Amino acid sequence: MNSVAFIVIAILTLAAALAAASLPKLIHAALNFAVTFVGVAAFFFLLGAEFVGLVQVFVYIGAVAVLIVFTILLTRRDVDKDRGFNWSGVVVAVAVFGGLVWAILGTPSLPVVAPEIPALPVKRIGEVLMTSYVWPLQCVGLLLTAALIGALILVMEDREEVKKVK
């Protein structure tokens, strides 16, 4: 594993994440959110999970980021009004980060170097998905269907309200 690539990807990902969390304009934050997920996908490629990296790019940048931008445009009138920032969240986040780093550095079995493993082809992922993980796969399919129908029903306009407006 290349340490230069690791450092570059880590700096890009964390800088974009910080920008997404702190920029006042919502649309800039959404674009930095997309860059953050490019960085996470690059981490997946670095770790040898190319399929998950591609899924990450398709799902997050292709779907979720576009969905967020559409929501920002639909609720646009409100965007520039609230600039509130709660500083107690910074304290909580720094405390959690300190606790996590303390736990990671205190675990003696963690500093291992990556072992040599065979590459994971997509064919193997498909086989595993259709044999040992077939019930989770069906459950996720059901969950996605229910979630998308629920999202549609949530944003459907009330018939009576539409009539009143007319």
Partner 1 sequence: MTPTLQLFLIVSAALFCIGLLAALSRRHAIFILIGIEMMLAAANLNFIAFWRFTPQAEQATGVMVAIFSIAIAAAEAAVGLAMVIAIYRHYRTTNVDQLDQLKG
CA angle 45, 51, 52 (to 5 degrees): 75
Determine if 118 is a binding residue for partner 1 (CB under 8 A). Answer: yes
Q: How far is the CB of 160 from partner 1 (least distance, A)?
A: 14
* Other CB atoms within 10 A of residue 145 CB: 10
Determine if 162 is a binding residue for partner 1 (CB under 8 A). Answer: no
**Are 6 and 25 a contacting pair, CB within 8 Å?**
no
Could you say which of 8, 59, 130, 134 contacts partner 1 (CB under 8 A)?
Answer: 59
Determine if 67 is a binding residue for partner 1 (CB under 8 A). Answer: yes
**Are 46 and 4 a contacting pair, CB within 8 Å?**
no
Could you say which of 115, 162, 164, 165 contacts partner 1 (CB under 8 A)?
Answer: 115
User: What is the torsion angle, in degrees rounded to the nearest 10, for the CA atoms of residue 96, residue 102, residue 108 and residue 109?
Assistant: 20
Could you say which of 8, 28, 71, 138 contacts partner 1 (CB under 8 A)?
Answer: 71
Q: How far is the CB of 144 from partner 1 (least distance, A)?
A: 5
